[in-house]
Amino acid sequence: MVRSLRYAALAVLLVAGMAFGQGKAALKGGYLGDLRFDTKYGFHSQLEGSTGSNSDFRFGLSPRLDYFVKDGLGVGGGFRFDYSSTTYKQTELSIGPQVDYYFTQWERPRSMSGCLAYLGPGDCIPHVGFSAQLLADRTDYGPTYGPTTDYGWSTRFEVGVAPIIGERVSFPLDLGFGIQNAKPQLSTLRQTQYCFDVCTGCGVFLYK
């Protein structure tokens, strides 16, 4: 079921992009809609004022939409869903604004060899991004304690590259670092988590 939903979402993005006219990637007045899948590793102190640490792996997806206010500079927002099931089942939801910059002036030399050579010059765009989101982190501790939900905020910085197929479709690859701060439901103290992630997916640059 989950795999079918992912394929359907990618198909919607591709069809939506084809419905718009021709345009260059990341130019002023355009949009970028994408859906990304990530693998995240996080580590954190148990609670402020206590000793010890903990870590976990999570898998998730994050749809988002940018509007380019000038060439290369996109502002918008996104939604992120992460899930892990190790000792306990954890589900994390977050939503908030996003800022991205695509270095559209960078052109890849025609002499580059390998599979990227088929894309043509200038079709592999480096980019950086930053997001700040509100989050809700739900942990199910089983029949003894049941589920609890922690609320807080998160920030994330990413750097990556976006190969462009044609003039509208991209397949970004990002490396991200984030900081999350949340207050456990059963405590007055707050918890800080530091996260590294690898993210890839499919995006479409949209132009009227």
CATH of the domain at 149: 2.40.160.20
Angle of CA points 56, 62, 67, to nearest 5°: 145
- How many domains does one find in the chain? 1
Task: Of 24, 51, 35, give the one whose Cα is nearest residue 205.
Answer: 24
**Sequence-separated (6 or more) residues with CB below 8 Å from residue 86:** 56, 57
Residue 151 lies in domain:
2-206
pTM of the model: 0.73
- pLDDT, greater one: 80 or 5: 80
What secondary structure letter does DSSP report for 189? Answer: S
Task: Of 152, 153, 156, give the one whose Cα is nearest residue 131.
Answer: 156
Task: Of 197, 190, 152, give the one whose Cα is nearest residue 44.
Answer: 190
Q: Are 65 and 31 in contact (CB under 8 A)?
A: yes
Tens-place pLDDT, residues 59-104: 888 999 999 999 889 999 999 988 887 677 888 899 999 999 998 7
Tens-place pLDDT, residues 16-70: 333 333 346 788 888 999 999 888 887 765 544 444 446 677 888 899 999 999 9
Tens-place pLDDT, residues 140-190: 777 777 788 888 899 999 999 988 887 788 889 999 999 988 877 666 677
**Sequence-separated (6 or more) residues with CB below 8 Å from residue 112:** none
Percent of the chain with pLDDT over 90: 25
Token representation of residue 103: 């270095």
DSSP-assigned states of every residue in 69-131: EETTEEEEEEEEEEEEESSSEEEEEEEEEEEEEE-TT----TT--SGGGGG-TT-EEEEEEEE
